[in-house]
Amino acid sequence: MGNASGRQKQKPLILGPAPGSGMGAYAVTFDTLEDRELAMLKESDSPDAFYLPWKSGDVTECEIDLTDTLTYFFTANLSGCSLWYKFQEGRILIRHEARTDSASQNLHKLAGFKCVVDSSLNPDDVQLSVDQETMVRKARYYVVYALFDYEARQVEFRAQLVAQQTNLLSRQESYELVKVTAAIVKFPKA
């Protein structure tokens, strides 16, 4: 996903508009076409992915049964947000935290959650600017997704730092993968 073959530069995996109209977690299918900057998610009765949106100034949470056969997990872009997980009774609970204060983050730690990525820790990675002459907006944010491997009994979270440029006049967008970090988390022993 998001990789180019040959000598082409690796592209980030960017999700299209969030599925559904409400604030909740969604079982979705993922358009897995190779080397796509913009992938699509659709609500589905036979999902292969799970999507967790964000909520302004609050936390959203989902739980995924580890006996399911979901392959992918996606969450909304992180820009000053953090992503947390913990295992509990055969499930993985995942939280998208939109608050950046230490009190809310300490609550996750006290509840046994571990942080996958905290985009608020590096203020240089979260920026938004508009060049008034060219009307090009530049932004940097994290796009995080996870791959479930039931045979290896693990989940691999991938945090992509993405640079986006948008021409505000033409609405043309481009994305560049700045860096990607991975965290492999083993399922607990059964």
Radius of gyration of the chain (CA): 17
In the chain, where the domains are located: 14-124+142-162+177-186
| pTM attached to this predicted model | 0.83
pLDDT digits (tens, 9 = 90+) for 45-95: 777 788 888 888 889 999 998 887 788 888 888 888 899 999 999 999 999
Q: Is 133 exposed, middle or buried (0-12, 13-18, 19+ CB in 10 A)?
A: exposed
Q: How confident is the model at residue 185 (pLDDT cuts 50, 70, 90)?
A: very high
Q: Token pair 């935290």 is at which residue?
A: 97
- Across the range 111-131, mean pLDDT stands at 83
- On the question of pLDDT at 1 being above 80, the answer is no
Can you give 119-153 as a three-state secondary structure string? HHHCHHHCEEEEECCCCEEEEEEEEEEEEEECCCC
Helix segments in the chain, DSSP class H: 102-110
| Tokens of residue 110, six digits | 């006290």
174 φ/ψ sector (left φ>0, alpha ψ -120 to 50, else beta) = beta
- Residues in the chain, overall count: 190
Question: Who wins on pLDDT, 19 or 154?
Answer: 154
Nearest to 79 by CA among 93, 64, 99: 99
